[in-house]
Amino acid sequence: MSLSTAQAISGPRSKKNTRKNTPIQRAFSSLTRVSPSLAGRLANYFWYRTQHRSMTADEQRVLGQASVEVRRYGGKSVRVYRWGEGQPVLLTHGWNGDAGQMAFLVEALVGQGFQVTAFDAPGHGRSSGNSTDIFEISGFITQLLQESGDDTVVIAHSFGGMCTLHAISNGARASAVVCISTPKDVTTLLQQFSSLLGLNEVVVGQLKRRLEQRFGEDMWSRFSMQEWVRLADLPGLIIHDSRDRYIPVSNGRAVHAAWADSELQITRGLGHMRILQDAEVISSIKRFLGRLKSVNEEQ
């Protein structure tokens, strides 16, 4: 379960994108007139599809400094990257992202004395495959958390936040979680997905039925960050931009309201992606980790 191939988060949506002027929106509009059922099947196919993006020179440089391990998971090759020594931090990227997007965080945290682990999720980055879902990604996160220990802090972006809390709700253990630009539930993902593909209500209904067949009719309440954080006995930091066009800031506020032991930071003008590179955001994360370390040392 995820955002689709059409929802590669590489830049802000334009007004033109919302008026059925993109090729994929025109294709779905035409197909819907011929066969809503076939359009629903195609939308379901795209729901799981991923893209492998190109990395910048800086991202490649940081990944080139890592100790790299290639694992088999779910029939796919998954790349795991590690830097530094110290308390473990796990970085989890979002849909159609990869470990390279976390490069600025990697350098900052290694410099602060943490051991940093990141990975290219199945179907992402330099890992193999071209599709995945929340179960596969959260299962791999669970595996990494079991290996790194209960004192691991997870820093997750976008859909990676949902995968992380899904893993924790199913028994994985971490000492704290930082959620950056994270959706509050799967309904939000469906709304964004449907908007970007220009799906009408009939096709959305077709897609919903297919998703429910796979994940259960209760998926709309079961896959909810708000429910997961209510049960999570750990501190959190939520960072969200007021101008995020993909995951509106109301999502961050809703997760914060449900998460008793959480802090909320609202940024302005960083959108969905540049927030990962912003110096003030990285400083806030470093301060949060520093406070956690001080508390742990006092106990």
Record the tokens describing residue 263, joined without a space: 């802090």
User: How would you class 213 by CB atoms within 10 Å of its CB: exposed for 0-12, middle for 13-18, buried for 19 or more?
Assistant: exposed
Whether the Cβ atoms of residue 232 and residue 169 lie closer than 8 Å to each other? yes
Q: Which amino acid is at 242?
A: S
Q: What is the DSSP string of 209-227?
A: HHHHHHH-TTHHHHSBHHH
Give just the sign of the alpha carbon dihedral 197, 201, 203, 205. Answer: positive
Task: Locate the domains of the chain by residue range.
Answer: 57-189+218-298
CA atoms of 235 and 28, how far apart (whole Å): 43
CA atoms of 77 and 52, how far apart (whole Å): 14
Whether the Cβ atoms of residue 157 and residue 216 lie closer than 8 Å to each other? no
Record the tokens describing residue 82, joined without a space: 């590690």
CATH class of 57-189+218-298: alpha beta
CA distances to 32, 37, 84, 262, 285 from 289, rounded to whole Å, are 50, 49, 16, 13, 6
pLDDT at 9: 34
CA distances to 129, 168, 185, 193 from 172, rounded to whole Å, are 25, 4, 19, 29
pLDDT at 2: 44
b/e per residue 96-134 (b: at least 16 CB within 10 A): bbbbbbbbbbbbbbbebebbbbbbbbbbbbbbbbebbbb
CA atoms of 268 and 48, how far apart (whole Å): 31
Pairing outcome for strands 114-120 and 76-83: antiparallel
pLDDT at 12: 35
pLDDT at 6: 35
Q: State pTM to two decimals.
A: 0.91
Dump pLDDT digits (tens) for 224-238. 999 999 999 999 999
User: How would you class 298 by CB atoms within 10 Å of its CB: exposed for 0-12, middle for 13-18, buried for 19 or more?
Assistant: exposed
pLDDT tens per residue across all 299 residues of the chain: 443 333 433 333 434 444 557 888 888 999 999 998 999 999 999 999 999 999 999 999 999 999 999 999 999 999 999 999 999 999 999 999 999 999 999 999 999 999 999 999 999 999 999 999 999 999 999 999 999 999 999 999 999 999 999 999 999 999 999 999 999 999 999 999 999 899 999 999 999 999 999 999 999 999 999 999 999 999 999 999 999 999 999 999 999 999 999 999 999 999 999 999 999 999 999 999 999 877 766 66
Backbone angles phi, psi at 67, to 5 degrees: -85, 120
pLDDT at 242: 98
